[in-house]
Chains A and B, each alone.
Chain A
Amino acid sequence: MGIARMNKVYLLAHQADKEHVLSALQQSGLLEISDITGTEEAEGWVKSLARDQEQEALQELEGKLAEVRFNLDFLNRYHPVKKGLLDDFLAEKKSITAGEMERLAAGWADISSKVFAAIKTIDEKLLQIRNEETHLQNLQQQLLPWRRLPVPLEQLQSTPAVTIELFALPVNSADKFRSELAETGAAYALEQVEYLRGEIYFVLVAHHSDAETVRNVLKRFDYVKHTFPELTGLPEELLAGVEEDLHKLAAKQEVVRQNIAELAQYREQLLYYLDYLTVLREKRQAMENLGRTASTFVLEGWIREADVKKLKHLLADVSDSVAVMVREPEPGEAFPVLLENKPLFAPFEFVTKLYGAPSPYGVDPTAAFTPFFVIFFGIALTDAAYGLVLSLVAVLGLMKIKGENMRRLLKIIFACGLSTVVFGWLIGGWLGFQVLGAPLYFDSPSDPMRLLVYSLGLGNIDIFWGMKLKLIHLVRQRQYFAAFADVILWYGLIIGLLLLIVPAAATFGKYLAIISAVGLILTQGRAQGSIMKKFFSGVLSLYNITGYLSDILSYSRLLALGLATGVVSLTVNTMAGLLKGHPIGYVAMLIIMAGGHVFNLAINALGAFIHSSRLQYIEFYNQFYEGGGKHFNPFRIQTRHIEIRPDGLQHK
């Protein structure tokens, strides 16, 4: 268990079998394909290979993908599906075989191009409607101030005898305008038609001979001239017409909307088609990593050692002429990392992967940190009722949800919930109350020092456990001296110092610590050149004890987080308690209790999860972890809406 053993695989086959071989590989999901043209070791013979590129096929696929995505985007914008927060997780994938999918795909392609064509017309119609609508709305705005004008617009044109002006003035300059106009002594008539949004709308009729005078007055003001050169009829009637046109447009829009709703029935098929195309594209992209000659191709990849046989059987079924070469990784050769753990620990790979992949030659920390993670979560939450809720929610989720990653998280939550029940019962409460009497072990809020000591003690064990992993790893690699100097001596020093607190073992502790310290001084500088450098590096290494100390102290957060949950529960209960004694008060009390505890559970469960993770990543990993690996990412079928089952082997 731990990091899976990987083998390197080379496949050599005829071009004619390429499609079938790659389809079989994609359906099996056994192999991670590497880019063969980039490898140095194969240089001698890879040179004679061309990079296998099928640009045209790929581009055609991209085109179809763009079309489906456009269709789906359009439908989502104009006819969105309402979905709940959890629907994404609960969605059932349609399950079909690869062969069925091939048969259905032609139909889906038809639907996609049909929908695309329909959308294009609809889009044009929508644009037209929108333009027309804007035009009408502008007209409406223009006509609105003049709606009380009892004269048809075409009659408001200047004649040889009189000049007619329609204009708007800001209300505060209207009086001044009136008086200045009067002062000119010109022959005119000024009529106020409307007062609207701070502007006064005037009709001014002046005798032709005075037109210039009147205009000169007007120019001194901040006026806006209105003209209706293309309109005829009464403004009132024109407005009614515009209104009617807008109604007609709305009706048109409704029809278009119904057209879109009709298209939305194809959404499901479009989603399937999207999946189908994505799978195809991944296959095409995988082909870019192959090497080719005129009639053969070469594929290089990594496979789990345990799967090699399966791969050979699979390929033998696809074609008689596939040559498979398998070898173990050369010493130091980096291979992709696949974590393998017993079913009990496997869900916690979720936590491991959150941080990254360990080095292929390092240690898989999953199984080692699992018990600590679960215990830490329980102490950080410390409320039995919250634990029950978490476990129940996780069980409900596991009954409904199919997604592998989500299921792993739910299993973790289930285990952590149980742990919370245990620790809540032992040292905490139930929703902040002590319904089952006092906690079984001790009441942590009233004796925090005790929990602090336990937290630090657990931290110490966690860190010793991490050092043990390093020890085992070094022994396995036959670095016995390093195992002794870098782990055993540290154990000795720390245990010796801890024993100083215990009166009966203090003397033994003292000598153990001194001997270990001397050992560390002598060994920790062994990488250095001169004797002096060796000595000083050795002495300096003792300084690492502070790092150890700060690692241990970091576990005090378990106490703080546990108390935080307890005290917030207490706060919620106290606030709710203030309201009792009145019928309405009881209702409010229940609301406060429910809301407060849900909030407390959510925020502190999140805190417990991430702080438990952090204690592993920073403090525990610090002892042994080597990162820098790359996760095993096999060439496989990745879909969101359909589940594709491999269909027998009919390709032969």
Chain B
Amino acid sequence: MLGLESGLILAIIGAAAAVLLAGIGSAIGVGTVGQAAAGVVSEDPDKFGSTLILQALPGTQGIYGLLVGFLILQRIGLIGGSPVSLTVEQGWSFLFAALPIAFGGLVSAIYQGKTAVSGVYLVAKRSEESGKAIIFAVMVETYAVLALLMSIMMLFGIAV
């Protein structure tokens, strides 16, 4: 039975923050790239494939956020088990474990989106260089991956 334990609530806030903030970042990133890509494709429909890949790139942060949120729910027994009872300290630990991907994801997705928009313009002018445009955008992704890594390590480290 899900009681009103503050430890549990804190952990759930953590899960929500991870999905919410990283998801917002990805939505903004994917959205801005999509706008630029649509403009380019209106001129040259053949560039759909390479611009679509660029648009997909800032979407991963949202997935990373979902992943951390899911892991938290699983660790605290809201999925596939019964809710465990958490101390307030454990609750805070889960909340803070979610923060790296929540904020790292939010900001990196927005900036990756901006980089990818420039990449779309690069593809518009020189379609043969789409690989380079992708690499530029992936450079930003590194920090989302590192944030994800830290969130996961912290989650696995918290004793329940």
Q: Is the CB of A568 within 8 A of B63?
A: yes
A356–B128 Cα distance when bound, in Å, is 11
Contacts of B64 in A (CB 8 A): 564
Residues of A in contact with B, size category: 20 to 34
Interface membership of B152, Cβ < 8 A:
yes
Partner of A560, one of B131, B135, B139, B145: B145
Query: If A354-B131, A560-B148, A564-B148 touch, does A571 touch B139 (CB 8 Å cutoff)?
Result: no
Rounded to whole Å, the gap between the CB of A596 and the closest CB of chain B is: 11
Partner of B56, one of A571, A603, A611: A603
Q: Is the CB of A614 within 8 A of B149?
A: no
Interface membership of B59, Cβ < 8 A:
yes
A319–B131 Cα distance when bound, in Å, is 43
Rounded to whole Å, the gap between the CB of A373 and the closest CB of chain B is: 14
A618–B70 Cα distance when bound, in Å, is 32
Rounded to whole Å, the gap between the CB of B143 and the closest CB of chain A is: 10
Interface membership of A299, Cβ < 8 A:
no
Query: If A564-B63, A603-B60 touch, does A557 touch B142 (CB 8 Å cutoff)?
Result: yes
Query: If A355-B131, A611-B138, A617-B135 touch, does A563 touch B152 (CB 8 Å cutoff)?
Result: yes
Residues of B in contact with A, size category: 20 to 34
Smallest CB gap from B153: residue in A? A448
Contacts of B80 in A (CB 8 A): 574
Rounded to whole Å, the gap between the CB of B67 and the closest CB of chain A is: 4
A356–B135 Cα distance when bound, in Å, is 12
Question: Of residues 600 to 630 in A, which have CB atoms within 8 Å of B's CB atoms?
Answer: 603, 606-607, 610-611, 613-614, 617-618
Question: Of residues 518 to 565 in A, which have CB atoms within 8 Å of B's CB atoms?
Answer: 554, 556-557, 559-561, 563-564
Interface membership of B20, Cβ < 8 A:
no
Of A607, A611, A618, the most chain B CB neighbours within 10 A belong to: A607
Rounded to whole Å, the gap between the CB of A115 and the closest CB of chain B is: 23
A576–B149 Cα distance when bound, in Å, is 26
New A-B contacts (13) at CB < 8 Å, excluding given A564-B63, A614-B138: A554-B142, A556-B146, A557-B142, A557-B149, A563-B152, A564-B67, A571-B67, A574-B70, A607-B60, A610-B138, A611-B138, A617-B135, A618-B139
Query: Which positions in A face B, CB cutoff 8 Å?
Result: 354-356, 448-449, 452, 554, 556-557, 559-561, 563-564, 567-568, 570-571, 574, 603, 606-607, 610-611, 613-614, 617-618
Q: List 12 A-B contacts (CB under 8 A).
A: A557-B142, A564-B64, A564-B148, A571-B70, A574-B79, A606-B53, A610-B135, A610-B138, A611-B138, A613-B131, A613-B135, A618-B139
